[in-house]
Structure formats: C-alpha cells, structure tokens
Structure 1
C-alpha cells in the first residue's frame, strides 16, 4: 500500500512538472497560441446524435442558428502574449468564449467547419483563415490545432497555434500584380498607352474565331493622320509625339469595351470593333473624325494644332474571312481615301 501511494505521488509530481513545462512553452512561444475547451460542444453534439440527428451537416444547414449556439459552447482556457499581439488586444482581459473573430462573411463558414470537425473527432487540423483583429485589421493566418495529450477523448483542452502570414500574402499579391502589369505592358505601346501590334495580332485572331463560331460580324477601322509630317517639321519631333498621344486619347475616349484601339505604327491607328456591323463601324469612324475636328490639340510650350485623319473600314466576313485579309482590306480602304483627298472615311471595295 505504501509503495502504491509512493508511485501515485511520483506520477502526480511528474504530471505537474510536465504541465508546468507545457505552460512555460505555451506562454513563451513566439507564435500565437490559444487553448480551447471543446468538451461542452462535444457533449452537445453527442446529445444531438442521441436524439436521432445523424446528419449534423444537414441539421446545421436547416437550423443556421445552431451554428452560433454550438460556437458559444467553446470556451477559452488560456492564450499567450503572442496571441494578444496578433489580435491587437491590450491587457489580459481573458475572453470566455472561443474568441476567434472573423469577418461576417467568413464566420459562419469557418464556425460550421470547426463544429463538424469536432463532431468527427478531428482535432489535428491545419487550415488557412482570415481573422479580423479588435482594431478591425484583417490578417491571414495558418492555424494548426491538436488535442493536448490526455484530453483526446473529452476535448477539454485543444491547443491552436496561429502563424501570421499576412505579409507573405501581401508580398505574393504584389508579385502577382507586378507580373500582371509586366504582361500588360508587353502588349501596350510605350508612347500612347494603347495596345500594340503584338496584342492586335493575338487578340484579333481570337475575336475572328469567336465571330466565326457565333456567326457575328467584326469590323476594323484603319486610320492615319493627314499631313502629320508637316506638324513634325513645323513643331519638332517631341511635339509630334505629344500630338500622337493626344490623338490616342481622343480615339480611346470614343470607345467602349469590347472595342479597343491599337497604336499600329507611327501616326497610324487601328480600331477593333467586335460584334459590330459595317454601318456601326462607319458611324464610329465618323464619331472619331468629328471629335478630332472639334479638338484643339495643345502641345508643349503653347503650341496648338488641329489634326485630321483618313479612315478605312472593313468588316468580317463581308470583306475578309481571316486576320491578315481583314487588316489588308481596311488598309486598302484607307489607301483609297488617301489617294482621293484625305480627311474622309471609306469602306473596302474589291
């Protein structure tokens, strides 16, 4: 009997020492730690099962209020300083509930998943989650949970480690945005900001395939500034570049998606008009021509010029059935206008 008592006391002392080491590690951990008591939730779920509710997921869907009720049964046992810092909490006003605030959109989904995992006895779980701190800051964390040794059956102690990956996520998002901008710039003209020839040939091929598949028209406007060499000779190359930039703005201001403009070469521009008939393209060319005629283009050092252009219009499949043929048809129509006096709009004529 004496030996049994001695062994028991020795075991209890070892457990106390083990618990003390655990607490020291828990409190001094550099990552956020929180410990939950999930035993009341586990008991409640067992009661639901005993009452004949076999499909808990369906039950929670039919009774969404039960999600919040179940969540309220989770109690906080402890947490460390790193958790307070993560959540933006001043002092140690110990919460009594689960205290893992998320935004309203995510809360019900996350709470539901936690409840279902508890129902299945799954405590060793790793997941990414978005939290909202007490000061309203959104943080992305990796959370890893496990039942404390000796409490696997009751779930009275479940430890959760939270690693803040917000900076990494922001860096990844910035990298993706940088890559997107790089890809975008590869298809943009450096002077005007319009799309370039590379984008024209890639996208126009796609639009023609869509037009063919959907039995829809597609029109192309090829335009060229009239007597632009005179502007450059009179006011210099820098002002010539400024003039091209401002004309590009005029063209772009007349378009709405899916139509788009392309800086083709020098003072030449192409306007692609998906799902547009020949009359619609002629009308758009007239709008651009009119807008240019009404605009005084102010260049550098008080230089003001008026500009005009010639336009050639062609339509798929009326005038051509492939990319190169459609561009050639619009260019042919433009050349015909240039040959007969400029500052006009012409359609392709075979």
Structure 2
C-alpha cells in the first residue's frame, strides 16, 4: 500500500470520526430534547397523549396515566389505543375518527370507569397532527378531568328543574323575557356603526319604543299578574304595559342599554303604574336564565313590591328629621337653641376662614321685660317672648337664623354679611318690634322694645366664642347708655 493510499485512509478515518462525534452530539441533544419534552409533558396539569393513524400510542404523559389509572412507568410503545378496553368503553374512538376525517379540532366529553371502579368524566380536546401537505398523521389529545364541573352542570340542570317548579308558585312577581330579537337588532345597529347606545337613544328616542316592542314575554307567574293588575285571562304579549309613559320610557331605555352592554345582572328600584292606575314601588332584579349565559337571550325579572316599606321608611326618616329638628329647637319659641348655635356657628366660622367671607352676629335683649312679667304674669311673659321670636324670624332669610339664647335674650347669625348690612338688619328687627302691638291673654296689649349688639368675624373676633362675646359686649355697652338702640362692637 502506497503512502498516498495510507494518507487517504487516514483522512477517511478522521472524517468518519467527525461524523461519529456529530452523531453522538445530535443523539445527546435529541435525548435532552426528549427529556425536556417529557418533563414538560409530565408537569402539565392536563393529560396528554398522541397516536398514529393506526391508533398506536406514540406518547403519553404522567397526568394521562393517572387519569386512566395506568402505571406511569409502563412502556406504552406497543399499546394500541383502539384496543384499550377503558378507552373503547368511553366511546372516544368515534370522535378520534371524526377528528381525522374532518381534519379539525373537536372537544368531546366522555365518562370513564377506572379499574378500581370509580367513575370520572373526561373532556377530550382532540387535534389532528398534519404535515406540510395537510395529510393527517395522527391525533394529539389533551384531556381534562371535569368531574366536578360535570357535577356542577348536573346540579345546575336540577336547579333549573326546581326553578321551573318554583317559578309559578313563587310569591314574588316573576316574568321571563325573550330578548333575542332585541339583541339581534342591537347587533345590527352595532354593525352599522352605532357604538354609543346612550347617545343613540338620546338622539333618536323613538328607537326606545321600537326596541321595547322586540322584547317578548316568554313566561310569567300569577304574582306578576297580580302585581301589575292584569286579568289572569288577559296575559301580556310583550313586556311591561306602558301604563306610565315617563317611567316606562326610563325603564325601557335602561333595559335596552343593559342588553346592548351585555350586563343583565342589574338591581334597581323603580316605580310601576298598574293597569288600575295605582302607583307601586318595586325592587327589580334581572338574572340570566340558566343555559343562556352566552347569548343572554333569555332574562328573568324578579320584582318585590316595596311600596309599604318605602312609605314606612319615608315616615321614619321624617320622624327622625323632626326629632333631630326638635333637639335643636327651643320649646317655647320654636327658634334654634344654644346647642344648635354653637354647632352651626362653628361651621359658619370655619367656612368663613376658608373662603374669606364674613359672619355677623346680633346679640339682642328685651328692654324692661321684667316689668311685663311682674305686671301681666309669667304666662303672658312667655306669650310675649313667643311673639317677639316670630317677629325676629320673619325678618330673616336663609342662611340667616335666629336663636332663643336665654330668657328674653336672642341671637341672630348672619352668614356672609358685613357689619354695615348687619347693623341694617338689626335696625329692621328693632323697628318691627317697636312698632308691633303684641296682644297677649285676655286681650292684654303691650308695646315692647329691644336693644342690640352687633359684631362681625373676622373684624372683631378670631373664633366663635370671641364673636359671641364681642356682640354681647356691644349689647352691654349700648344698654348702659340707653334702650331701644343698636350698639356696634368697638375694640380698644
């Protein structure tokens, strides 16, 4: 053998060794790839298996073995799924063939009985395995244990049956609507470019009646007929009768928007006018009928007549309002009392601090009022105080208010009023009291006068206590110099 032949053999040997190394690396990479795939498959929460066109099992993950109660270490290579008794009994064979023939994914549910005898329900997601030419070479299946879901579905069906039984005998008014035509019309409007249905109905209010006519009454119970005052022999063909046009249009618009936005779970209070003209307040709750969750084509409305409850609530609120009002009112005069003065004035002063607005206060005291009591008695004195309080209150407009401070003393709070205007208001009250002849018991007539002290926040005080004290100081000062007069606070 020549030297060149030996060199040629060496080169061929080196080439073969290179091929061998590449093969070993490829084989190792393939094993790692298969190992990773097996790890991913075994970690999947769903069962997985693949078969070829003859039904031979190509691959299966651990979860699938658990679902079928197969030993996870069992060599599945020689297993033909078509000959597997557990699979055959489930009936999934026909679905696998249908998946292959139609060349599209399908989802099917089948019961499965494990060797131990326990029954489960499996959901198969079958997909054809196709090459680049579209030829089917096998089927990939992903399997979910939906036993609990099946139990829930069965319970739902049983609930639907019982619901139908209870529907007619329920004491609550129930009506079932078929809104399929309405939803079809709304989808057509959406396809035509309507995206804002609120704006659409505002601009074309006649559409509300048209949409409402598309709603059909599918079922109702006797309580509903009784609520609406409908004769049992004259059941409604459509939805509610438009016995009150304004309220009807408002309710119809809301129902249409609910259908358009796909949110039927709505609870609201609404007013209904029965066929006899009686107005009732009802609490209405809309729910999707079982089996129509996807299309929302069938909706039930439950209505509870809460007219009496609303009337009782209104009466209770009015009673509470009167009670709170009385707690802040003077029993003799009906004016506010000191408790209200300090609470309300604190808020007025706080608001004035934030906004930079004034609050004026008038402190007034009746002149020589003890003579009236000594001459005509305490009862007539009380009558006189009550009548003077009425004179004071008649001069005021909200937000101003008067307070029966103590005995024959009164306070008037004037939010937003500067000192000059407050002096004018004090003079208006002083003049009215002076010019009024107050008629007391047994025809007794008296003429009365009062003195006034006026101060303003923030000119004369930094808080409500200083404001009251400033007005009182002005009153005290003016009474030292004369009666039936008005004093303005002067700081020293």
TM-score interval, normalised by the smaller of the two chains: 0.7 to 0.9
Q: Identify which range, 206-215 or 280-289, moves more after superposition.
A: 206-215
Task: Tell me what 2:385 maps to.
Answer: 244
Deviation digits for residues 171-193 of structure 1 (CA, Å, limit 9, x no counterpart): 22222222222222222111111
Task: Note the 1:106-145 alignment, pairs <5 A.
Answer: 106-119=247-260, 121-123=262-264, 125-145=266-286
* Matches for 1:129-168 after TM superposition, within 5 Å: 129-149=270-290, 157-168=298-309
1:75 corresponding residue in structure 2? 216
CA change 1:155–1:94 in 2 (3 A) is farther
Aligned to 2:464: 323
- For the residues of structure 2 that align with 1:225 and 1:75, how far apart are their CA atoms? 75
Give the match's secondary structure for 1:224. strand
Contact 1:67 1:111 (8 Å CA) reproduced: yes
**Residue correspondence of structure 1 range 72-111 to structure 2 within 5 A:** 72-90=213-231, 92-99=233-240, 101=242, 103-111=244-252
Alignment of 1:173-184 (within 5 A): 173-184=314-325
Partner of 1:300: 441
Encode CA deviations 1:229-261: one digit per residue, 9 max, x unaligned. 111112211111111110000000011112111
In the aligned structure 2, how far is the partner of 1:219 from the partner of 1:124? 54
CA distance in 1, matches of 2:312, 2:266: 26
Q: Tell me which residue corresponds to 2:348.
A: 207
Q: Is the 8 A contact 1:219 1:276 kept in 2?
A: yes
Q: Distance in 1 between matches of 2:174 and 2:310?
A: 21
Does the 8 Å contact 2:362/2:455 carry over to 1?
Answer: yes
Change in 2 beyond 3 A, CA 1:287/1:51: closer
* Alpha-carbon shift at residue 204 of structure 1 (Å): 1.6
Residue from 399, 407, 410 that aligns with 1:269: 410
**Cα distance change on mapping 1:293 and 1:124 into 2, 3 Å:** closer
TM-score by length of 1: 0.84
Compared with structure 1, are the counterparts of its residues 23 and 314 closer, same or farther at alpha carbon in structure 2 (3 Å cutoff)?
Answer: closer
Give the C-alpha shift of residue 93 in structure 1.
2.4
Kept in 1, the 8 Å contact 2:160–2:290? The answer is: no
Offset at residue 303 of structure 1 (A): 2.1
* Deviation digits for residues 54-104 of structure 1 (CA, Å, limit 9, x no counterpart): 555554455433232111101223433322321233553233221254755
The yes-or-no answer on 1:45 pairing with 2:186 is: yes
Q: 1:249 to 1:19 in 2, by over 3 A?
A: closer
Given the alignment, which residue of 476, 479, 483 partners 1:335? 476
Within the candidate set 310, 326, 335, 1:185 is matched to: 326
Q: Write the distance in 2 (CA, Å) between the matches of 1:202 and 1:22.
A: 56
Residue 261 of structure 1: SS of its match in structure 2?
strand
Summarize the Cα distance change of 1:159–1:276 in structure 2 as closer, same or farther, 3 Å threshold: closer
* Count of paired positions: 333
| Structure 1 residue 301, shift from structure 2 partner | 2.5
Following TM superposition, by how much is the alpha carbon of 1:317 offset from its aligned partner in structure 2, in angstroms? Answer: 2.6
* Structure with greater contact order relative to length (CA < 8 Å, sep ≥ 6): 1
Kept in 2: contact 1:37–1:155 (CA 8 A): no
CA contact (8 A) 2:222 2:232 kept: no
Which is further off, 260-269 or 231-240?
A: 231-240
Q: Whole-Å Cα distance in 2 between the matches of residues 102 and 278 of structure 1?
A: 58
Q: Is the 8 A contact 1:31 1:82 kept in 2?
A: yes
Q: Cα RMSD over matched residues?
A: 2.8
Partner of 1:291: 432
Question: Looking at CA atoms only, which structure, 1 or 2, has the larger radius of gyration?
Answer: 2
> Is the CA contact 1:296–1:304 (under 8 Å) kept in the aligned structure 2?
yes
Gaps of 5+ in 2: 1-158
3-state SS, counterpart of residue 336 of structure 2? coil
Q: What are the Cα deviations for residues 251-303 of structure 1, in whole angstroms up to 9, with x where unaligned? A: 00011112111101000001111222222122111111111122111122222
Q: Following TM superposition, by how much is the alpha carbon of 1:124 offset from its aligned partner in structure 2, in angstroms?
A: 5.0
